[in-house]
Amino acid sequence: MTPNTATLPHRPTAHAEHALASARRTLAVEAEAITALAARLDDSFTQAAQLLLDCSGRVAVSGIGKSGHIARKIAATLASTGTPAFFVHAAEAVHGDLGMITSDDVVIAISYSGTATELLTIVPLVKRMGARLISITGRPDSELAKLADIHLDASVAKEACPMNLAPTASTTAALALGDALAVACLEARGFGKEDFARSHPGGALGRRLLTHVRDVMRSGPSVPTVPVTASITDALTEISLKGMGMTVVLDDAEHVVGIFTDGDLRRLLERVGDIRGLTVEAGMSRKPYSIGPDALAVEAAALMDENRKNLLLVRDPSGALIGALHMHDLLAAKVL
């Protein structure tokens, strides 16, 4: 019978111990590379950041091979943090994609050796059209470094690869340098949470900062309402029909005078017992919490949490009822 390996006690093997040691060594090498890079930063970094800030066009980030993957990620980070940017594959650039770059752009070219043929082919054309060039290499004396308006030194003492061949520490350093540029520009622009949310509307932060009460509230016939003269039975029918656990109570002019909730019903039963013949006015809460339609949905959630409520009325500046919001609506919209 084959034993259930899921129930066997875990015994570290020699292979597992070797894997852990290898992982820790790799992380240490890459951490050391970034620490050394941070200590080596100088005025070239400041100039590069200023060049990006002054750019009237967009930032084109290019590379090939592993550097191309890093370039793509740096372009994405810049674009999502307030610096318009896009990725250009160096090999595709020599076959037509160079037309994506204009004289108003800044090009960031990434090659650890500084000798990538595809980049060296397009760089003279980029400079001829008037675009500015920032290079990120591990060889300050390389041709790419010398051709650049600004060169950023991303050299590392060694790769994490035991053969010192596979780009590991070097790509990590280049990526960290790109992140540093993006964050420096972000801070200089005063790029805030609201700006970040606008470029990430599909993410959790975007939903939290871009979703307003009007976007998720219930309105029109979906809002349960009864007149102040309605019987308790009529109020319960409306509550059951609309599924919000409450009904708004209106006077003859259709102004809000209160709400009647499931909780109000329980309290009324405890206090009175026999509720037959009573109107909703006998048990309603007279000062319901409300919020405006232009408030953020997260503000509504905070108000509910602060007052231990699971619903709010939505009213315009004049106090007129225009909707209602339940905690379930916020959950459904993934605001919480």
Domain with 276 in it: what CATH number? 3.10.580.10
Euclidean distance between CA atoms 91 and 292, whole angstroms = 54
> At 326, is the secondary structure helix, strand, or coil?
strand
Q: Give the Cβ contact number of residue 286 at 10 Å.
A: 10
196 located within any domain: no
CATH of the domain at 165: 3.40.50.10490
| Strand locations in the chain (E) | 59-63, 85-89, 106-110, 132-137, 150-153, 225-227, 246-250, 256-261, 290-291, 311-315, 321-326
Burial 45-56 (b: 16+ CB within 10 A, else e): beebbebbeebe
pLDDT score of 272: 83
53 located within any domain: yes
Q: Based on the structure, what is the number of domains in the chain? A: 2
Residue 178 and residue 69 share a domain: yes
**Percent of the chain beyond pLDDT 90?**
56
196-251, pLDDT tens digit by residue? 656 655 555 556 666 889 988 999 999 999 999 999 999 999 999 998 889 999 99
pTM of the model: 0.64
16 located within any domain: no
Report whether pLDDT(9) > 80: no
